[in-house]
């Protein structure tokens, strides 16, 4: 872990020692799990919110951190996850329910605070995730030896900076292969980097240096999860194969079928098998 991340991890771990409020959330409770609102402060005493779902079945439960995606609203975890895992879904700073002091812009968040390392907002966002994982691990009736993390870049980065991770499921990495993907006319969010470079050409070199801290390849050696799944588009497979080869654990690269239902089921079944549990019940057929 480089100096950039070691300082942020230390601050995030210290934040997890603060006060935590956990309240019933009846509107999200169902026949398989109890739901709770979790409130705590991240680094800089920033107020954060997360959903916590606890299965009604006997524990100990597998703790699953559902890392936030790139968007303003964080949904409650899927029905089957709530039944099978003790799952914490964080709203990082700037997202809805964690936006009392700062509101993230979409597009815009990917470059917010560049070019400097100390001002780039993603450093604090990653710290929010690390703090949330520690709060999940403080909960009773869990099997911490099977800690799992799922999501995109924030799952990958958090996984690389978290010790004792058992399973990591990730893909759709925005910080992957930035220079190549900026060529031509890319879609958003990658186009945000082009916007920044065009608007602030004299600052791009410094910004690019800051972004190396988030490069999945540079973080791969920190991933010590026993089992890893990377989901990729067909055109991205060679990159993800290379990324997988840099990880020490048993790693699977799965090419998405571009069919949301089937890809979702495959990912959930892999995660359940990796964690040694049965997938939670779903409202639609698996076939």
Would residue 162 count as lying in a domain? yes
Q: How many CB atoms lie within 10 A of CB 38?
A: 22
Q: Which domain holds residue 262?
A: 3-275
pLDDT score at 244: 98
- pLDDT < 50 positions in the chain: 287
C-alpha dihedral, 227 to 233 to 236 to 241, nearest 10°: 20
Among 219, 227, 229, 86, residue whose Cα is nearest residue 166: 227
Q: How many CB atoms lie within 10 A of CB 247?
A: 20
Domain count, the chain: 1
- Give per-residue pLDDT as tens, 40-66: 999 999 999 999 999 999 999 999 999
Burial of residue 136, with CB atoms counted within 10 A of its CB: 0-12 exposed, 13-18 middle, 19 or more buried: buried
Would residue 180 count as lying in a domain? yes
Distance CA 121, CA 109 (A): 8
Contacts of 250 (CB under 8 A, 6+ apart): 226, 227, 228
Would residue 287 count as lying in a domain? no
Would residue 282 count as lying in a domain? no
Would residue 285 count as lying in a domain? no
Distance CA 97, CA 51 (A): 10
Backbone angles phi, psi at 53, to 5 degrees: -125, 130
Report the CATH number at residue 213.
3.40.50.1820
Contact 282, 264 (CB under 8 A): no
Helix (H/G/I), strand (E/B), else coil: 45: helix
pLDDT score at 156: 99
* pTM more than 0.85: yes
Question: Which tokens sit at 215?
Answer: 């490069």
Q: How many CB atoms lie within 10 A of CB 280?
A: 21
Backbone angles phi, psi at 256, to 5 degrees: -65, 145
Distance CA 50, CA 40 (A): 9
pLDDT score at 79: 93
């Amino acid at each position: 872990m480089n100096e950039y991340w070691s300082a942020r991890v230390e601050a995030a771990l210290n934040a997890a020692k603060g006060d935590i409020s956990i309240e019933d959330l009846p509107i999200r409770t169902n026949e398989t799990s109890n739901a709770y609102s979790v409130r705590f402060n991240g680094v800089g005493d920033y107020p954060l919110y997360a959903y916590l779902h606890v299965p009604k079945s006997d524990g100990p439960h597998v703790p699953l951190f559902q890392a936030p995606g790139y968007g303003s609203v964080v949904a409650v975890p899927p029905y089957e996850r709530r039944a099978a895992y003790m799952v914490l879904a964080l709203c990082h700073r700037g997202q809805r329910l964690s936006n009392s002091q700062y509101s993230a812009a979409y597009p815009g968040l990917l470059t917010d605070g560049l070019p400097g390392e100390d001002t780039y907002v993603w450093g604090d966002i990653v710290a929010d995730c690390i703090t949330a994982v520690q709060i999940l691990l403080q909960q009773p009736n869990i099997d911490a030896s099977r800690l799992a993390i799922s999501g995109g870049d924030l799952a990958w980065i958090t996984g690389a900076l978290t010790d004792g991770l058992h399973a990591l499921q990730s893909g759709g990495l925005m910080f992957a292969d930035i220079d190549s993907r900026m060529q031509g006319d890319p879609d958003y969010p990658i186009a945000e980097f082009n916007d920044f470079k065009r608007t602030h050409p004299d600052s791009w070199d410094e910004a690019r240096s800051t972004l190396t801290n988030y490069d999945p390849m540079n973080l791969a050696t920190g991933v010590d999860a026993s089992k890893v799944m990377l989901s990729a588009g067909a055109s991205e497979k060679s990159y993800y194969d290379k990324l997988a080869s840099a990880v020490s654990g048993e790693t699977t690269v799965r090419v998405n079928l571009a069919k949301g239902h089937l890809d979702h089921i495959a990912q959930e079944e892999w995660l359940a098998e990796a964690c040694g549990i049965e997938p939670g019940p779903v409202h639609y057929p698996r076939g």
